[in-house]
Amino acid sequence: MSEFDLIRRYFTRATPGAVLGVGDDAALLQVGAGNVLAVSTDMLVAGTHFLPDADPFLLGHKTLAVNLSDMAAMGAKPRWATLAIAMPEADEPWLERFSAGLFALAQQHGVELVGGDTTRGPLNLCVTILGEVPPQQALCRDGAQVGDEIWVSGQLGDAALALAHLQGEVVLGAEQFAACAPALHSPQPRIALGLALRGIAHSAIDISDGLLADLGHILDASQVGAEIGFGALPVSDTLSTLSRAVAHPSPVNGTRAGFREACFPPPESAGHGRPAVGRGAGAGGEGTLALRCILSGGDDYELCFTAAATRHDEVMRIGAQLGLPLARIGRIVAGRGCAVHDAAGDPIDIEICGYDHFR
């Protein structure tokens, strides 16, 4: 099979929303009146972002989903995508399932694949997503204001917990893993929420590298600080059980000064692009694992956003209309940095952390 046969068979579909799609040197796209183009690119590398034996259908879904999540965070309507794919060989059964997973999600969100590239090499998947948004309604990171409430959608930490299980860092029961695995393998981009938050949210970001790391990007861009309550963070029953050890943490050496070291031992390379969470790491044991999954595990692809307290009821109505749980987890304050408080209201001594490819 030639490169061009591969493209025609697995990655060419009708593109009625484009002036010109796959098959020429470039696509031609017409942006709607009053909109600007929102563009984002994400790369997934085997062994860094996904396991080499990942189900190709789920991988096709996730390859597009992580890009759609960026559109959601901007309040943009996704329209088109390009795909650059490197692979060791033209494995037709793998390509058939991968493209099926990618196009199933694309159809769900009205996205057309309008171009890309293929080459031989280590498995590497790169999507560029393009969407539309009125410029004055785009959700950006630099709009958070003192007094804003901080919200997150869905649940946090399940993807990191599922990954820890796959890496042998913790052993989950079959039912527990089955409940967590979809968050890792088939995240659901919150497009409808992003669109609904236009004109309501002051700032937004999608949670890909961990809550504290990504919220930190909002705080840095907006030059503000934040206070969040650990007990307010929305988590699954499995993580809720594990996290009880940190909801009321015991003092370390008679004080809270050593709690950061107990809950955040230096991450070890797990060969999968996320910090390892050790079953017995540090003094916290399972509590350590839970804390790191919830606050810094990454791969959640939920939205974190801020909105004025006066819009609280509107945000709640949006969640109800979408059938999507939205949790208020804290507030924006003057100053810099993020403080996390335990159930008693005392600060938990942690450091803002999340995944960084070059650290």
The residue written with tokens 């600080």 in the block is: 225
337: region left, alpha or beta (phi > 0 left; psi from -120 to 50 alpha): left
Task: Please state which of the ranges 42-46, 49-53, 153-157, 188-192 shows the lowest mean pLDDT.
Answer: 49-53
Q: CB–CB of 204/305 below 8 Å?
A: yes
pLDDT for 15 equals 78
Q: What whole-number distance in Å separates Cα of residue 184 and Cα of residue 54?
A: 11
Point out which residues pair with 345 in neighbouring strands.
none
Give the angle subtended at the CA of 53 by the CAs of 56 and 97, to the nearest 5°: 15
Whole-prediction pTM: 0.83
Number of residues that this document lists for the chain = 359
pLDDT for 22 equals 67
Q: CB–CB of 11/83 below 8 Å?
A: yes
Each residue of 46-61: pLDDT tens digit?
888 888 889 999 999 9
Name residues whose C-beta falls within 8 Å of residue 253's C-beta, 6 or more positions apart in sequence.
none
Strands (E), the chain: 36-45, 77-87, 112-120, 124-133, 149-153, 201-206, 225-229, 303-307, 326-333, 337-341, 347-348
Residue 358, judged by CB atoms within 10 A of its CB (0-12, 13-18, 19+), counts as exposed
More confident residue, 160 or 276: 160
The residue written with tokens 């590398």 in the block is: 45
pLDDT for 44 equals 93
Each residue of 16-46: pLDDT tens digit?
877 666 665 667 888 888 999 999 999 999 8
Give the angle subtended at the CA of 94 by the CAs of 91 and 95, to the nearest 5°: 80
Each residue of 54-111: pLDDT tens digit?
999 999 999 999 999 999 999 999 999 999 999 999 889 999 999 999 999 999 999 9
CA distances from 328 to 149, 155, 281, 314 (A): 7, 12, 30, 13
pLDDT for 240 equals 84
Tell me the domains of the chain and their CATH numbers.
3-136 (3.30.1330.10), 139-348 (3.90.650.10)
Mean pLDDT value across the chain: 83
Of all residues in the chain, what percent carry a pLDDT higher than 70? 81
